Amino acid sequence: EDVLLSVRELATHFTADEGVIRAVDGVSFDVKPGTIVGLVGETGCGKSVVARSILRIVEKPGSIVGGDILLRRGDDWLNLAELPPYGPDLRKVRGGEIGLVFQDPMASFSPVHTIGSQLVEAVRLHERLDRRAADRRVAELLDLVGVPNPERVMSAYAWQISGGQRQRVMIAMALAGRPKLLIADEPTTALDVITQGKVLNLIRDLQERTGLAILLITHDLGVVAQMAEEVIVMYLGRVVEKGPVDQIFHAPQHPYTRSLLNLIPSTEAVARQSLKAIRGTVPHPLNRPDGCGFHPRCDVAIEGRCDKDAPALQIVGNDHTIECHLGEAERAKPCEDAGRRL
Protein backbone atom coordinates (compact mmCIF):
# COMPACT_ATOMS: atom_id res chain seq x y z
CA GLU A 1 0.00 0.00 0.00
CA ASP A 2 1.12 3.50 -0.85
CA VAL A 3 2.22 5.28 2.33
CA LEU A 4 4.12 8.56 2.70
CA LEU A 5 4.55 8.72 6.47
CA SER A 6 4.34 5.79 8.82
CA VAL A 7 4.40 6.45 12.56
CA ARG A 8 4.98 3.24 14.51
CA GLU A 9 4.60 2.87 18.28
CA LEU A 10 5.82 6.41 18.83
CA ALA A 11 6.50 7.27 22.48
CA THR A 12 7.45 10.79 23.55
CA HIS A 13 7.84 11.38 27.25
CA PHE A 14 8.58 14.39 29.43
CA THR A 15 10.61 13.91 32.56
CA ALA A 16 9.50 16.24 35.34
CA ASP A 17 10.58 16.29 38.99
CA GLU A 18 7.25 14.73 39.93
CA GLY A 19 7.54 11.88 37.47
CA VAL A 20 7.38 10.95 33.82
CA ILE A 21 4.64 12.36 31.61
CA ARG A 22 3.82 9.95 28.83
CA ALA A 23 2.48 12.59 26.45
CA VAL A 24 2.61 10.23 23.49
CA ASP A 25 2.53 6.62 24.51
CA GLY A 26 2.59 4.14 21.66
CA VAL A 27 0.98 5.94 18.72
CA SER A 28 0.78 4.35 15.27
CA PHE A 29 -0.76 5.64 12.06
CA ASP A 30 -0.07 6.09 8.36
CA VAL A 31 -0.52 9.03 6.04
CA LYS A 32 -1.01 8.19 2.37
CA PRO A 33 0.18 10.60 -0.31
CA GLY A 34 -2.37 13.22 -1.27
CA THR A 35 -4.79 12.57 1.59
CA ILE A 36 -5.99 14.66 4.50
CA VAL A 37 -5.77 12.87 7.82
CA GLY A 38 -7.47 14.48 10.81
CA LEU A 39 -5.89 14.05 14.24
CA VAL A 40 -8.45 14.94 16.91
CA GLY A 41 -8.87 14.98 20.67
CA GLU A 42 -9.25 17.42 23.52
CA THR A 43 -6.43 19.73 24.53
CA GLY A 44 -3.77 17.81 26.40
CA CYS A 45 -4.24 14.51 24.59
CA GLY A 46 -0.85 14.64 22.91
CA LYS A 47 -1.76 15.78 19.39
CA SER A 48 0.76 18.60 19.17
CA VAL A 49 3.45 16.43 20.71
CA VAL A 50 2.89 13.96 17.87
CA ALA A 51 3.42 16.81 15.38
CA ARG A 52 6.51 18.08 17.16
CA SER A 53 7.89 14.56 17.40
CA ILE A 54 7.53 14.02 13.66
CA LEU A 55 9.46 17.23 13.01
CA ARG A 56 11.85 16.49 15.88
CA ILE A 57 11.16 19.79 17.59
CA VAL A 58 10.02 18.45 20.96
CA GLU A 59 11.13 20.86 23.68
CA LYS A 60 13.11 19.72 26.67
CA PRO A 61 12.55 17.93 29.01
CA GLY A 62 10.65 15.96 26.38
CA SER A 63 12.18 13.36 24.12
CA ILE A 64 11.27 10.51 21.85
CA VAL A 65 11.83 7.35 23.88
CA GLY A 66 10.57 4.77 21.43
CA GLY A 67 9.10 3.98 18.06
CA ASP A 68 9.76 4.89 14.46
CA ILE A 69 8.77 7.80 12.23
CA LEU A 70 9.24 6.55 8.71
CA LEU A 71 9.19 8.97 5.80
CA ARG A 72 9.14 7.52 2.32
CA ARG A 73 11.89 8.59 -0.05
CA GLY A 74 11.40 6.75 -3.31
CA ASP A 75 11.93 3.11 -2.47
CA ASP A 76 13.58 3.89 0.84
CA TRP A 77 12.37 4.89 4.25
CA LEU A 78 14.05 7.56 6.31
CA ASN A 79 13.54 7.05 10.03
CA LEU A 80 13.14 10.56 11.40
CA ALA A 81 13.14 9.23 14.97
CA GLU A 82 16.73 8.13 14.51
CA LEU A 83 18.24 11.18 12.83
CA PRO A 84 20.59 13.38 14.87
CA PRO A 85 18.55 16.43 15.93
CA TYR A 86 20.72 19.11 14.32
CA GLY A 87 21.99 17.17 11.34
CA PRO A 88 21.60 18.24 7.71
CA ASP A 89 19.12 15.43 6.97
CA LEU A 90 16.63 16.71 9.46
CA ARG A 91 17.07 20.29 8.30
CA LYS A 92 16.17 19.18 4.80
CA VAL A 93 13.08 17.39 6.03
CA ARG A 94 11.83 20.24 8.20
CA GLY A 95 10.31 22.88 6.01
CA GLY A 96 11.45 20.84 3.01
CA GLU A 97 9.74 17.48 2.70
CA ILE A 98 7.46 18.31 5.62
CA GLY A 99 5.99 21.78 6.13
CA LEU A 100 4.48 22.99 9.39
CA VAL A 101 1.66 25.42 10.01
CA PHE A 102 0.47 26.20 13.50
CA GLN A 103 -2.05 28.21 15.40
CA ASP A 104 -0.25 31.45 16.04
CA PRO A 105 1.50 32.77 12.94
CA MET A 106 2.58 35.91 14.80
CA ALA A 107 5.04 33.90 16.87
CA SER A 108 6.66 32.46 13.78
CA PHE A 109 7.43 35.73 12.05
CA SER A 110 10.20 38.12 12.89
CA PRO A 111 8.73 41.50 13.85
CA VAL A 112 11.69 43.39 12.41
CA HIS A 113 11.87 41.87 8.91
CA THR A 114 9.33 42.32 6.15
CA ILE A 115 7.20 39.37 5.17
CA GLY A 116 8.80 39.44 1.74
CA SER A 117 12.34 39.09 3.08
CA GLN A 118 11.29 36.24 5.36
CA LEU A 119 9.61 34.43 2.49
CA VAL A 120 12.62 34.93 0.25
CA GLU A 121 14.81 33.48 2.98
CA ALA A 122 12.51 30.48 3.37
CA VAL A 123 12.55 29.84 -0.39
CA ARG A 124 16.33 30.14 -0.61
CA LEU A 125 16.83 27.73 2.28
CA HIS A 126 15.61 24.97 0.01
CA GLU A 127 16.47 26.14 -3.48
CA ARG A 128 19.47 27.89 -4.97
CA LEU A 129 17.83 30.94 -6.53
CA ASP A 130 19.10 34.41 -7.26
CA ARG A 131 17.21 37.33 -5.79
CA ARG A 132 14.95 37.86 -8.81
CA ALA A 133 14.07 34.19 -9.17
CA ALA A 134 13.41 34.00 -5.42
CA ASP A 135 11.12 37.05 -5.68
CA ARG A 136 9.23 35.38 -8.50
CA ARG A 137 8.87 32.18 -6.50
CA VAL A 138 7.57 34.15 -3.50
CA ALA A 139 5.03 35.93 -5.70
CA GLU A 140 3.95 32.52 -7.00
CA LEU A 141 3.55 31.20 -3.46
CA LEU A 142 1.51 34.21 -2.36
CA ASP A 143 -0.66 33.77 -5.41
CA LEU A 144 -1.08 30.06 -4.58
CA VAL A 145 -2.37 30.89 -1.10
CA GLY A 146 -4.68 33.58 -2.40
CA VAL A 147 -3.07 36.71 -0.98
CA PRO A 148 -4.86 39.41 -2.99
CA ASN A 149 -2.19 42.08 -2.88
CA PRO A 150 1.19 40.33 -2.90
CA GLU A 151 3.27 43.48 -3.42
CA ARG A 152 1.80 45.19 -0.40
CA VAL A 153 2.00 42.09 1.77
CA MET A 154 5.64 41.51 0.85
CA SER A 155 6.68 44.96 2.00
CA ALA A 156 4.62 44.75 5.20
CA TYR A 157 5.59 43.50 8.64
CA ALA A 158 3.68 40.60 10.19
CA TRP A 159 1.84 42.86 12.63
CA GLN A 160 0.59 45.08 9.83
CA ILE A 161 -1.61 42.46 8.17
CA SER A 162 -4.76 40.70 9.37
CA GLY A 163 -4.80 37.34 11.15
CA GLY A 164 -6.26 35.63 8.11
CA GLN A 165 -3.62 37.09 5.78
CA ARG A 166 -0.94 36.10 8.26
CA GLN A 167 -2.16 32.52 8.27
CA ARG A 168 -2.10 32.50 4.45
CA VAL A 169 1.44 33.83 4.47
CA MET A 170 2.41 31.18 6.99
CA ILE A 171 0.99 28.50 4.71
CA ALA A 172 2.99 30.01 1.85
CA MET A 173 6.08 29.82 4.05
CA ALA A 174 5.36 26.17 4.83
CA LEU A 175 5.07 25.47 1.10
CA ALA A 176 8.36 27.21 0.29
CA GLY A 177 10.30 23.95 0.35
CA ARG A 178 7.75 22.15 -1.86
CA PRO A 179 6.78 19.65 0.85
CA LYS A 180 4.96 16.38 0.24
CA LEU A 181 3.40 16.56 3.68
CA LEU A 182 1.97 19.54 5.49
CA ILE A 183 1.35 19.30 9.21
CA ALA A 184 -1.23 21.86 10.28
CA ASP A 185 -1.65 22.13 14.05
CA GLU A 186 -4.87 23.97 14.89
CA PRO A 187 -4.34 26.20 11.85
CA THR A 188 -7.62 28.07 12.21
CA THR A 189 -8.24 28.06 15.96
CA ALA A 190 -7.13 31.67 16.43
CA LEU A 191 -9.29 32.96 13.56
CA ASP A 192 -12.87 34.19 13.46
CA VAL A 193 -15.42 31.81 11.94
CA ILE A 194 -15.54 33.39 8.48
CA THR A 195 -11.77 33.60 8.11
CA GLN A 196 -11.56 30.07 9.48
CA GLY A 197 -13.77 28.81 6.67
CA LYS A 198 -11.68 30.62 4.06
CA VAL A 199 -8.41 29.22 5.37
CA LEU A 200 -9.87 25.69 5.48
CA ASN A 201 -11.06 26.07 1.90
CA LEU A 202 -7.58 27.19 0.96
CA ILE A 203 -6.00 24.15 2.63
CA ARG A 204 -8.36 21.78 0.86
CA ASP A 205 -7.84 23.57 -2.42
CA LEU A 206 -4.06 23.31 -2.05
CA GLN A 207 -4.37 19.62 -1.34
CA GLU A 208 -6.41 19.14 -4.51
CA ARG A 209 -4.18 21.27 -6.70
CA THR A 210 -0.78 20.15 -5.48
CA GLY A 211 -1.45 16.60 -4.28
CA LEU A 212 -0.05 17.42 -0.84
CA ALA A 213 -0.74 15.09 2.04
CA ILE A 214 -1.98 16.92 5.12
CA LEU A 215 -1.99 15.93 8.77
CA LEU A 216 -4.64 18.25 10.17
CA ILE A 217 -4.59 18.55 13.94
CA THR A 218 -7.66 20.01 15.59
CA HIS A 219 -9.94 19.70 18.60
CA ASP A 220 -12.86 20.55 16.30
CA LEU A 221 -14.62 17.50 14.89
CA GLY A 222 -16.62 19.70 12.54
CA VAL A 223 -13.41 20.74 10.81
CA VAL A 224 -12.35 17.11 10.48
CA ALA A 225 -15.72 16.08 9.07
CA GLN A 226 -15.40 18.75 6.39
CA MET A 227 -11.80 18.15 5.49
CA ALA A 228 -10.39 14.73 6.27
CA GLU A 229 -10.58 11.36 4.60
CA GLU A 230 -9.21 9.53 7.60
CA VAL A 231 -9.54 10.30 11.28
CA ILE A 232 -7.31 9.50 14.23
CA VAL A 233 -8.81 10.08 17.68
CA MET A 234 -6.32 10.53 20.52
CA TYR A 235 -6.88 10.37 24.24
CA LEU A 236 -4.14 10.64 26.87
CA GLY A 237 -1.32 9.88 24.50
CA ARG A 238 -3.00 6.90 22.83
CA VAL A 239 -4.91 6.43 19.59
CA VAL A 240 -8.30 5.25 20.83
CA GLU A 241 -10.03 5.12 17.45
CA LYS A 242 -8.88 5.34 13.86
CA GLY A 243 -10.74 4.92 10.60
CA PRO A 244 -12.26 6.40 7.44
CA VAL A 245 -14.12 9.65 8.08
CA ASP A 246 -17.60 8.40 7.21
CA GLN A 247 -17.27 5.42 9.54
CA ILE A 248 -15.97 7.57 12.38
CA PHE A 249 -18.80 10.06 12.00
CA HIS A 250 -21.67 7.72 11.21
CA ALA A 251 -20.64 4.68 13.20
CA PRO A 252 -18.17 5.76 15.88
CA GLN A 253 -17.23 2.77 18.03
CA HIS A 254 -15.18 4.14 20.90
CA PRO A 255 -17.03 5.75 23.85
CA TYR A 256 -14.63 8.70 23.74
CA THR A 257 -15.31 9.35 20.05
CA ARG A 258 -19.01 9.04 20.74
CA SER A 259 -18.70 11.58 23.51
CA LEU A 260 -16.78 13.90 21.24
CA LEU A 261 -19.53 13.55 18.68
CA ASN A 262 -22.08 14.29 21.36
CA LEU A 263 -24.00 11.19 20.49
CA ILE A 264 -26.63 9.43 22.46
CA PRO A 265 -25.86 5.78 21.84
CA SER A 266 -28.79 3.54 21.25
CA THR A 267 -27.99 0.33 23.12
CA GLU A 268 -29.96 -0.55 26.20
CA ALA A 269 -26.87 -0.42 28.36
CA VAL A 270 -26.10 3.18 27.62
CA ALA A 271 -29.43 4.65 26.55
CA ARG A 272 -30.27 5.49 30.14
CA GLN A 273 -27.38 7.88 30.38
CA SER A 274 -26.93 11.01 28.35
CA LEU A 275 -23.53 11.49 26.80
CA LYS A 276 -24.26 15.03 25.74
CA ALA A 277 -21.26 16.39 27.54
CA ILE A 278 -18.10 14.58 28.39
CA ARG A 279 -18.04 14.16 32.12
CA GLY A 280 -14.99 15.49 33.90
CA THR A 281 -11.80 16.64 32.26
CA VAL A 282 -8.69 15.12 30.80
CA PRO A 283 -6.72 13.91 33.85
CA HIS A 284 -3.36 15.43 34.62
CA PRO A 285 -0.85 13.31 32.73
CA LEU A 286 1.01 12.55 35.95
CA ASN A 287 -2.15 10.99 37.37
CA ARG A 288 -2.86 8.70 34.54
CA PRO A 289 -5.66 6.30 35.45
CA ASP A 290 -4.93 2.58 35.52
CA GLY A 291 -6.46 0.34 32.88
CA CYS A 292 -8.20 2.34 30.16
CA GLY A 293 -7.19 5.99 30.50
CA PHE A 294 -10.75 7.04 29.70
CA HIS A 295 -12.46 4.96 32.39
CA PRO A 296 -13.08 7.72 34.98
CA ARG A 297 -15.09 9.59 32.33
CA CYS A 298 -16.62 6.66 30.50
CA ASP A 299 -20.32 6.01 31.09
CA VAL A 300 -20.10 2.44 29.89
CA ALA A 301 -16.94 1.37 31.71
CA ILE A 302 -16.89 -2.21 32.91
CA GLU A 303 -16.04 -2.30 36.60
CA GLY A 304 -13.15 -4.50 37.53
CA ARG A 305 -11.92 -4.53 33.97
CA CYS A 306 -11.66 -1.06 32.47
CA ASP A 307 -10.09 0.28 35.67
CA LYS A 308 -7.52 -2.52 35.73
CA ASP A 309 -6.51 -3.71 32.28
CA ALA A 310 -5.43 -1.58 29.35
CA PRO A 311 -7.66 -2.42 26.39
CA ALA A 312 -6.10 -4.08 23.35
CA LEU A 313 -6.54 -2.96 19.75
CA GLN A 314 -9.71 -4.28 18.12
CA ILE A 315 -10.48 -4.27 14.43
CA VAL A 316 -14.05 -3.07 14.07
CA GLY A 317 -14.30 -2.42 10.34
CA ASN A 318 -12.39 -1.81 7.16
CA ASP A 319 -9.24 0.07 8.24
CA HIS A 320 -11.17 0.92 11.39
CA THR A 321 -9.77 0.12 14.84
CA ILE A 322 -10.46 1.00 18.46
CA GLU A 323 -8.81 0.44 21.80
CA CYS A 324 -11.66 -0.52 24.09
CA HIS A 325 -12.83 -3.54 26.09
CA LEU A 326 -16.38 -3.39 24.78
CA GLY A 327 -17.35 -6.20 22.44
CA GLU A 328 -19.45 -5.74 19.34
CA ALA A 329 -22.73 -6.40 21.10
CA GLU A 330 -21.94 -3.92 23.86
CA ARG A 331 -21.06 -1.11 21.53
CA ALA A 332 -23.90 1.13 20.52
CA LYS A 333 -25.25 0.99 17.02
CA PRO A 334 -24.47 3.65 14.44
CA CYS A 335 -26.25 6.89 15.08
CA GLU A 336 -27.82 8.34 11.98
CA ASP A 337 -27.85 11.75 13.56
CA ALA A 338 -24.11 12.03 13.61
CA GLY A 339 -23.70 13.84 10.31
CA ARG A 340 -26.61 16.16 10.91
CA ARG A 341 -25.40 17.18 14.33
CA LEU A 342 -22.24 18.53 12.83
Long-range pairs for 200-207: beta carbons < 8 A, 24 or more residues apart: 200/226, 200/227, 202/145, 202/146, 202/168, 202/171, 203/36, 203/171, 203/227, 204/36, 206/144, 206/145, 206/171, 206/175, 206/182, 207/34, 207/36
**Quick one: what does residue 99 bind among Mg ion, ligand SF4, none, with the CB cut-off 5 to 8 Å set by partner type?**
none
Closer to Mg ion by CB, 156 or 282: give it: 282
Decide if residue 325 touches ligand SF4 (CB under 6 A): yes
Closest CB 59 distance from Mg ion, rounded Å: 13
**Quick one: what does residue 145 bind among ligand SF4, Mg ion, none, with the CB cut-off 5 to 8 Å set by partner type?**
none
- The count of chain residues that interact with Mg ion, using the rule CB under 5 A, is 1
Which stretch, 7-15, 40-48, 99-107, 319-327, contacts ligand SF4 (CB under 6 A)?
319-327
x-marked contacts with ligand SF4 along 254-293 as a string, rule CB under 6 A: -xx-----------------------------------x-
- The count of chain residues that interact with ligand SF4, using the rule CB under 6 A, is 14
Decide if residue 294 touches ligand SF4 (CB under 6 A): yes
Closer to Mg ion by CB, 49 or 176: give it: 49
Decide if residue 302 touches ligand SF4 (CB under 6 A): yes
Closer to ligand SF4 by CB, 41 or 311: give it: 311
Which stretch, 47-55, 59-67, 147-155, 201-209, contacts Mg ion (CB under 5 A)?
47-55
CA distance 342 to 340: 5
Closer to ligand SF4 by CB, 182 or 332: give it: 332
Which stretch, 42-50, 114-122, 136-144, 257-265, contacts Mg ion (CB under 5 A)?
42-50
Closest CB 149 distance from ligand SF4, rounded Å: 50
Which stretch, 56-64, 93-101, 210-218, 298-306, contacts ligand SF4 (CB under 6 A)?
298-306
* Inter-residue contact 67 to 26 (CB < 8 Å): yes
Q: Which residue among 95, 177, 252, 311 contacts ligand SF4 (CB under 6 A)?
A: 311
Decide if residue 170 touches ligand SF4 (CB under 6 A): no
Closest CB 273 distance from ligand SF4, rounded Å: 12
**Quick one: what does residue 39 bind among Mg ion, ligand SF4, none, with the CB cut-off 5 to 8 Å set by partner type?**
none
Q: Which residue among 236, 301, 316, 338 contacts ligand SF4 (CB under 6 A)?
A: 301
SS3 annotation, the chain: CCCCEEEEEEEEEEEECCEEEEEEEEEEEEECCCCEEEEECCCCCCHHHHHHHHCCCCCCCEEEEEEEEEEEECCEEEEHHHCCCCCHHHHHHECCCEEEEECCHHHHCCCCCCHHHHHHHHHHHHCCCCHHHHHHHHHHHHHHCCCCCHHHHHHCCHHHCCHHHHHHHHHHHHHCCCCCEEEEECCCCCCCHHHHHHHHHHHHHHHHHHCCEEEEEECCHHHHHHHCCEEEEEECCEEEEEEEHHHHHHCCCCHHHHHHCCCCCCCHHHHCCCCCCCCCCCCCHHHCCCCCCCHHHCCCCCCCCCCCCCCCEEEEECCEEEECCCCHHHCCCCCCCHHHHC
Decide if residue 48 touches Mg ion (CB under 5 A): yes
Q: Interface with Mg ion by CB under 5 A: which residues?
A: 48
Q: Interface with ligand SF4 by CB under 6 A: which residues?
A: 255-256, 292, 294-295, 298, 300-302, 306, 311, 324-326
